[in-house]
Amino acid sequence: MSGPADWVDGKLVVPIYLALLTLPSRFPPGEIPLLPPPPEGVRIMLDPGHGGIDPGAISENGLREKDVVLEITRKVKDLLEIKGYGVFLTR
């Protein structure tokens, strides 16, 4: 990707950290809009980033970025599936 969000093979790819950091700031607390019903056939692929031999950043106390982003991604997946979206993870 050439920036925070980019088109890849005709699909808009938005890093999850960007979505999580910007969505709450655009709406007052308690007013984040509900997800609309998913269009038929829409599938969402979430890429937590890092993993395998690449742990990403590691904090002074040993917290690995790959563990944090995977946990956040799984929670986002659960929320989307509750709304009826087909969601897949890259790892």
Assess whether pLDDT exceeds 90 at residue 85. Answer: no
Q: Domain of residue 58: give its range.
A: 6-89
pLDDT digits (tens, 9 = 90+) for 29-84: 655 566 667 778 888 899 888 877 888 888 888 888 888 889 989 988 888 888 78
- Quickly state the pLDDT bin for 87 (edges 50, 70, 90): very high
1 located within any domain:
no
- Could you give the number of structural domains in the chain? 1
67 located within any domain:
yes
36 located within any domain:
yes
Answer for the pair 78, 35: CB distance below 8 angstroms, yes or no.
no
Which candidate, 69, 82, 67, places its Cα nearest to that of 19? 69
To the nearest 10°, report the CA torsion of 89, 59, 29, 25: -80
pLDDT digits (tens, 9 = 90+) for 28-41: 665 556 666 777 88
HSE (side-chain half, CA atoms, 13 Å) at 18: 10
